[in-house]
Amino acid sequence: MTDLPLTDDPRATESLAARYPDLDRLSPHALVQVFADDQLQALQAVQAAVPALTAAVEAARGRLEAGGRLVYAGAGTSGRLGMLDATELTPTFSWPPERAVPLLAGGVRAMREAVEGAEDDTAAGAADVRGAGVGPGDVLIAVAASGTTPYVLAAAAEARAAGALTVGLSNNPGTPLLSAVDCPVLLDTGAEVISGSTRLKAGTAQKIALNILSSALMVTLGKVYGHLMVDLRASNAKLEARALRLVQHATGVPEAEAEVALHAAGGRVKTAIVMLRLGVDAAEAELRLARSGGHARTTLGELE
């Protein structure tokens, strides 16, 4: 069955999903199955966007290596997903929180409640970008399922005018956001099971794409050694145990030796690994890592 537009709106995310006219009559099991099956389209949309995401990673890497920031701009669900991605970079990769700046239409209050009219406020979108001091060294990731959100469009335009690299994620083809940014990423998820509710598979596709984009950037910036999350800094019991396992796995030393190195390294996994692998103290390990831009593999002389 062909999805039908609610009006003459061309955006697929605003169409009626013709397959589910009696959604409210389904049994709980059938209802859960419909939602689970529909979510598969989110992954398919991300798979189709791999070339665009790759281009965004390649374009953004140099600015971040030079000290630039990741700035996220969005409204509603899209903005909340951006804020989540920005927030998780610090505990996962020790990314400085001041270098992950989330801009959410309506401000922090909009994380928990709808702020009426915030997504339509173009002046606020531009002002928030100016207020964050976005400039040529930064990367702005603009996220809008519709691809037409005024706040997001204004933020992207302001950031681009300031010389920042702009990346745009939209769930509709041919939308203004994809034309307004340097690196457009289309996540074509189509009509939603609950018509117009883009917190469903459109939001899922955005979450996956943001995870991929930021994680790939962190790997290229030396935040991972092999497949190990070595920029972890242990700050509680769970993370201390995880850090110990990572150091042991990377070095092959006994638990007691790994624990001593981690303590001397102030809980920094990557520092402890370099200490143990090269037989140096914490200060020397930090110095060598700094010289290699924080890349453990380079520090250890493992690159060809």
CATH no. for residue 246? 1.10.8.1080
Q: Is the pLDDT of residue 6 over 60?
A: no
Q: 121 with 146, same domain? A: yes
85 and 206 together in one domain:
yes
Shared domain check, 125 and 171: yes
| Whether residue 88 lies in the annotated active site | yes
Count of domains for the chain: 2
Residues of the domain holding 263: 237-299
Note the pLDDT of residue 166: 98
Domain-located, residue 19 = no
* Per-residue confidence (pLDDT) for residue 293, from 0 to 100: 92
Domain presence at residue 100: yes
Buried b or exposed e, range 132-168, using 16+ CB within 10 angstroms: bebeeebbbbbbbbbbbbbbbbbbbbbbbebebbbbb
The answer to whether residue 268 is domain-embedded is: yes
Is 228 inside a domain boundary? no
Tens of pLDDT, residues 210-263: 999 999 999 999 999 999 999 977 778 888 899 999 999 999 999 999 999 999
Instruction: Say if 227 falls within a structural domain.
Output: no
SS3 148: coil
Task: For residues 286 and 210, state if they share a domain.
Answer: no
Residue-averaged pLDDT of the chain: 92
Of residues 14, 58, 116, 119, which has the active-site annotation?
119
Q: Letter for the amino acid at 85?
A: D
User: Is 55 in the same domain as 87?
Assistant: yes
User: Are residues 125 and 84 part of one domain?
Assistant: yes
pLDDT: which is higher, 90 or 19: 90
For residues 24-51, give the mean pLDDT: 95
Residue 79 lies in a domain: yes
The CATH number linked to 80 is 3.40.50.10490
Question: For the residues 99-111, what does the mean pLDDT come to?
Answer: 94
* pLDDT at 114 (0 to 100): 79
Helical H segments across 19-136, by residue range: 28-48, 50-65, 76-93, 122-131
Residue 193 shares a structural domain with residue 52? yes
pLDDT over 80 (residue 14): no
Q: Given this model, what pLDDT does residue 12 score?
A: 67
Average the pLDDT over each of 1-15, 54-68, 109-123, 180-194 and give the range with the smallest value. Answer: 1-15
